[in-house]
């Protein structure tokens, strides 16, 4: 009789107890006590029987497939793995149920000896399981593993930020963010490095920023066959509260021949800009902008309208030009003589 039939018979018996007690006319309180005691007794008996059945069956021999991870042994310092190894091998085992359960839940790693180009995984697993004599290795898939080593080389590549920063209202970068170091050395087989031109930081977001930023940022390894000189870099940036300003600037023409003259309509543009609050007073006392158009651009234009260039003349100020109006100007050639 299988275990399912035994369980069903047990519950049928419990239901029988219920019916028998009701037919005997026992009062409700005594009926509850009797029923509870009998159920407890039979539950204990059932669990003991189930435990004995499990012990007996786990002592028998079974076949089981176990997926074992593959771990590369020590590699010489001047060598690097040139191609991927299989991550795991499927091992068919025969042995006592107890031993197989332990191996299934805690599979041992298969350590590969890298002194040879090919490793017999079957022999490797057998050697590692010698300490478990009641378990027999029947089959290993794949049977062989190819270990391809090449001379290790290095390459210097830049680091790129993958950090998304959003600010509180009126706040922004005072200076562009910096990564330190801004480049790293990568190591590996030549074929693994040839297509790697940069390393990126892990992607994450900084929200509602209103103060200077300084934090470590992990780097993303291209793959497990490539080593990086730094696991992380330092991300730093100065942040300030900005205010908006406006300035009117005359537009001038550059590189105009002496025999010619150019006038613009309108003659000025209004520049809107953001500036740190602590620098606003200094800007309001000067005009740190120039607006210009080159004569070469005018000569090549066929529309009669041209867009001026806006240049910040005071490089010590942290000015961010937002816009300028009008964005295009009409112009006139005035012929002149000497």
The yes-or-no verdict on residue 20 having pLDDT over 80 is no
The yes-or-no verdict on residue 122 having pLDDT over 50 is yes
Q: Which of 12-16, 26-30, 207-211 has the highest mean pLDDT?
A: 207-211
pLDDT of residue 199: 95
Q: Are residues 29 and 84 in the same domain?
A: no
Predicted confidence band of residue 338 (pLDDT cuts 50, 70, 90): very low
Specify the pairing of strand 171-173 against strand 289-294: unpaired
CATH at 93: 2.170.120.30
Last residue of a domain, one of 27, 58, 89: 58
| pLDDT tens string 133-172 | 778 888 988 888 888 888 999 999 999 999 999 999 999 9
Q: Are residues 143 and 202 in the same domain?
A: no
The boundaries of the domain holding residue 15 are 3-58
Average pLDDT over residues 198-204: 93
pLDDT of residue 45: 65
Q: Are residues 187 and 106 in the same domain?
A: no
Taking a C-beta distance cutoff of 8 angstroms, is the pair 61, 95 a contact? yes
Q: What angle do CA 58, 61, 64 make, to 5 degrees?
A: 90
Name residues whose C-beta falls within 8 Å of residue 22's C-beta, 6 or more positions apart in sequence. Answer: 31
pLDDT of residue 22: 47
Q: Which residue has the higher pLDDT, 288 or 26?
A: 288
CATH at 205: 2.170.120.40
Q: CA torsion sign, 171 to 175 to 177 to 181?
A: negative
- For tokens 């018996």, what's the residue? 13
Average pLDDT over residues 209-231: 93
The yes-or-no verdict on residue 227 having pLDDT over 90 is yes
pLDDT of residue 57: 60
pLDDT of residue 6: 54
The yes-or-no verdict on residue 314 having pLDDT over 90 is no
Taking a C-beta distance cutoff of 8 angstroms, is the pair 215, 234 a contact? yes
Predicted confidence band of residue 71 (pLDDT cuts 50, 70, 90): confident
Lowest mean per-residue pLDDT among 121-125, 176-180, 288-292: 121-125
Last residue of a domain, one of 218, 237, 256: 237
Kindly state the tokens that stand for 196: 């790697």
Mean pLDDT of the chain: 83
Q: Are residues 65 and 135 in the same domain?
A: yes
Last residue of a domain, one of 182, 207, 237: 237
Calculate what percentage of the chain has a pLDDT beyond 90: 36
The full length of the chain comes to: 338
Q: Which residues pair with 336 in a beta bridge?
A: none
- The total domain count for the chain is 4
Q: Are residues 228 and 248 in the same domain?
A: no
For the entire predicted model, the pTM comes to 0.62
Average pLDDT over residues 183-205: 93
Q: Which residue has the higher pLDDT, 4 or 246?
A: 246
Q: Are residues 257 and 308 in the same domain?
A: yes
């Amino acid at each position: 009789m299988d275990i399912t039939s035994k369980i069903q018979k047990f519950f049928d018996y419990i239901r029988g107890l219920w019916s028998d007690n009701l037919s005997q006319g026992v009062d409700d309180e005594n009926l509850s006590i009797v029923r509870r005691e009998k159920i407890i007794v039979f539950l204990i008996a059932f669990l003991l029987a189930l435990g004995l059945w499990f012990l007996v069956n786990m002592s028998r021999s079974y076949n089981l497939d176990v997926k074992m991870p593959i771990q590369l042994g020590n590699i010489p310092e001047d060598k690097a793995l040139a191609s991927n190894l299989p991550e795991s091998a499927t091992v068919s085992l025969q042995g006592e149920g107890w031993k197989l359960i332990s191996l299934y839940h805690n599979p041992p790693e298969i350590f590969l000896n890298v002194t040879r180009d090919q490793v017999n995984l079957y022999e490797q697993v057998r050697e590692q399981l010698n300490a478990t004599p009641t378990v027999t290795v029947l089959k290993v898939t794949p049977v062989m593993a190819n270990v391809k080593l090449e001379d290790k080389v290095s390459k210097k590549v830049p680091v790129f930020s993958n950090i998304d920063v959003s600010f509180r209202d009126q706040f922004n970068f005072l200076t562009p963010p910096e990564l330190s170091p801004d480049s790293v050395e990568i190591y590996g087989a030549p074929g693994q490095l040839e297509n790697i031109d940069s390393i990126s930081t892990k992607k994450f977001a900084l929200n509602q920023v209103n103060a200077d930023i300084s934090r470590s940022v992990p780097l993303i390894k291209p793959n497990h066959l490539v080593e990086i000189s730094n696991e992380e870099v330092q991300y730093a940036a100065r942040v300030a509260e900005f205010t908006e300003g406006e300035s009117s600037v005359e537009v001038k023409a550059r590189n105009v021949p002496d025999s010619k003259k150019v006038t613009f309509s309108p003659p000025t543009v209004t520049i809107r800009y953001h500036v740190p609050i602590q620098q606003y007073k200094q800007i309001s006392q000067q005009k740190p902008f120039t607006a210009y158009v080159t004569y070469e651009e005018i000569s090549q234009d066929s529309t009669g309208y041209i867009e001026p260039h806006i240049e910040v003349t005071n490089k010590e100020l942290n000015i961010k030009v937002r816009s300028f109006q009008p964005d295009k100007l009409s112009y006139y050639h005035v012929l002149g003589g000497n």
